[in-house]
Amino acid sequence: MPTIRHILAATDLSASARHAVDRGFGLAAATGARLTLAHTLGPDALAPLRALLGSQADDVVQQATARQREAMEALARDPARPHGVAVDIRLENGAAGSTLPALAATTGADLMVLGARGDNPLRRMVLGSTATRVLRHSPCPVLLARQPDAAPYRRVLLPIDFSPASALQIRLVRTLAPQAGLVLLHGFEAPFEGLLRYASVSADIVAQYRAEARERALQQLRALAAAEGLREGDYTSWVGHGEAVGLITAQQERLGCDLIAMGKHGTHVTEELLLGSVTRRVLDESDADLLVVVEPQRPAVAPA
């Protein structure tokens, strides 16, 4: 299973972004990883203030930066946090969409944790252009934390498409949530079903065709689970026919899963493919945290 040695948790210092810090501390304590807390100002976010104050702007920027560092240090020293976690603080200049992936790459982070919502008026860490760029360029898995409760995950939903990322999903989840119940889900559309209906093939034959496709998918799920060392009591499998997002969100709600772990295909996937469809809609329509799993590579970070 993957070893988590270093976790990078990003925050814009908003109240809701504390979820990422809380989750980062919890996972670092559970895995023995060191933790880096990162905050980015954005690309000269105080430029309007510079124009207003002229030569005094540098002093104001220095004071603001000092306050932000104090706020970060207060987060790190919070007595409610787990003890024994080695914490580093990084304040970075530049756009978060490019700065955070670069920081993850240069520091060798094994996991990045972001808040799924934010309310900083200078730099909102929402699931928009910033988080899209982070996810698109991240060299490591990204956990989008939206739940205020940072207790260990209890049940994890893993949408499985049988790509190489599927095995990585299982391995990483078992590392981050070793006590959680796993639900392996596969959504399918029977190949050529529409053609059969168009050709007026009987409903019974179409239903049989769909049932056979479902059984093949169940067998694949069981084979994947066995290959990853899962025993029958470690997981449940579910195969459904229909549109992926609806199946995922319905099962997440029905089973009370507090984490959804999805695979990202490749390291240079386009914004539309990654977040314009399934991943983006799952986060929008579910109330669970979302883990986007990528292979632990260190590609060059593309400009934001």
Q: Model confidence at 166, in pLDDT bands (50, 70, 90)?
A: very high
CB 11 within 8 A of CB 17: yes
Q: What is the reported pLDDT for 136?
A: 79
Q: What is the reported pLDDT for 282?
A: 84
- Secondary structure (3-state) at 175: helix
Percentage, residues of the chain above pLDDT 70: 75
Per-residue pLDDT tens digits for 228-268: 999 988 999 999 988 888 999 999 999 999 999 998 754 44
User: Closest Cα partner for 141 from 162, 168, 178?
Assistant: 168
Sign of the Cα torsion 294, 300, 301, 303 reads negative
**Cα(184)–Cα(284) distance, integer angstroms:** 21
Beta bridge partners of 235: 182
Q: Model confidence at 102, in pLDDT bands (50, 70, 90)?
A: very high
Q: What is the reported pLDDT for 276?
A: 42
User: Helical H runs in the chain?
Assistant: 18-31, 47-53, 57-77, 96-107, 129-137, 164-176, 193-198, 203-227, 244-255, 271-275, 278-285
Q: Model confidence at 110, in pLDDT bands (50, 70, 90)?
A: very high
Residue with tokens 């078992």: 174
CB 212 within 8 A of CB 154: no
Q: What is the reported pLDDT for 263?
A: 84
Query: What DSSP character marks residue 147?
Result: -
Output 188 or 125, whichever has higher pLDDT: 188
pLDDT at 57 exceeding the cut of 70: no
Q: What is the reported pLDDT for 117?
A: 58
pLDDT at 226 exceeding the cut of 70: yes
User: Closest Cα partner for 290 from 250, 263, 271?
Assistant: 263
The residue-averaged pLDDT of 210-239 equals 92
Residue with tokens 């880096």: 36
CA distances from 35 to 61, 68, 137, 156 (A): 27, 18, 21, 23
Lowest average pLDDT, out of 22-26, 208-212, 259-263, goes to: 208-212
Q: What is the reported pLDDT for 267?
A: 42
- Residue 225 C-alpha from the chain's centroid: 22
Rg over CA atoms, the chain: 22
Q: Model confidence at 159, in pLDDT bands (50, 70, 90)?
A: very high
Looking at every residue in the chain, the average pLDDT score rounds to 81
The residue-averaged pLDDT of 157-164 equals 91
User: Closest Cα partner for 20 from 293, 302, 290?
Assistant: 290
Domains of the chain: 6-293 (3.40.50.12370)
Q: What is the reported pLDDT for 63?
A: 79
The residue-averaged pLDDT of 105-130 equals 67
pLDDT at 197 exceeding the cut of 90: no
Q: What is the reported pLDDT for 170?
A: 96
pLDDT at 174 exceeding the cut of 90: yes
Q: Model confidence at 45, in pLDDT bands (50, 70, 90)?
A: low
What's the whole-model pTM score? 0.83
CB atoms within 10 A of CB 179: 9
CB 265 within 8 A of CB 295: no
CA distances from 154 to 134, 150, 151, 178, 216 (A): 27, 11, 9, 9, 29
The residue-averaged pLDDT of 187-215 equals 68
